[in-house]
Amino acid sequence: MTQTTPDQLVALDDWSDLRDFLPLPEIDLDKLYAYRTERLRNEMKAADVAATVTFNPISLRYAVDYSTYSLFQSRIPSVYLFMAQDGPTVMYGAYGDTPLIDRYEEANAITFFDAADNMADNARLLADSLVRYLDEIGSDNRRVAIELSNPSVTQACLQRGLEVLDGIALSEKARIIKSEEEIACIRWATAVAELGMAKMKQALQPGVTELQLWGLLNYTNLANHGEWHEGRMLASGDRINPWLQEATQRVIQSGDLVGFDTDMVGPKGYFCDISRTFHCGPGKPTRRQKEIYRMAYDEIQHNMGVVRAGISFHELQRQSYPIPEECQENAYTCIYHGVGMCDEYPRIDPYHRGLNPFDGTLEAGMVITVESFMGPKGERDGVKLEEQILVTYDGYEMISTFPFEEALLD
Q: What is the pLDDT of residues 237-269, one digit of tens each?
A: 999 999 999 999 999 999 999 999 999 999 999
Residue 42 lies in a domain: no
User: What is the overall mean pLDDT for the chain?
Assistant: 96
Same domain, 169 and 209: no
Domain boundary among 132, 151, 174: 174
Is 333 a domain residue? yes
pLDDT number for residue 410? 85
HEC string for 337-385 = EEECCCEEEEEECCHHHCCCCCCCECCCCCEEEEEEEECCCCCCCCEEE
Q: Which strand (E) or helix (H) includes residue 100?
A: none
Distance of CA 62 to the CA centre of its chain: 13
Kindly report, residue by residue over 288-313, the tens digit of the pLDDT.
999 999 999 999 999 999 999 999 99
- How many domains would you assign to the chain? 2
The winner for highest mean pLDDT among 10-14, 68-72, 398-402 is 398-402
- 41 falls within a domain: no
In a domain, 341, yes or no: yes
Which SS3 state, helix, strand or coil, does residue 13 take?
Answer: coil
Nearest to 371 by CA among 383, 358, 359: 383
Does residue 200 surpass a pLDDT of 90? yes
In the listed set 174, 207, 222, which residue is the last one of a domain according to the structure?
174
Query: Among 268, 280, 260, 276, which Cα is nearest to 218's?
Result: 260
What CATH number should be reported for the domain holding residue 94?
Answer: 3.40.350.10
Q: How far apart are CA 230 and CA 265, in angstroms?
A: 8
Residue 36 lies in a domain: no
pLDDT of residue 280: 97
Residue 152 neighbours by CB distance under 10 Å: 18
User: Does 10 share its domain with 103?
Assistant: no
Are both 403 and 378 inside the same structural domain? yes
Q: Residue 282: give its domain's CATH number.
A: 3.90.230.10
What mean pLDDT comes out for the span 362-368? 98
* Domain that includes residue 265, residue range: 6-18+177-409
Stated pTM of the model = 0.96
Do 222 and 288 sit in the same domain of this protein? yes
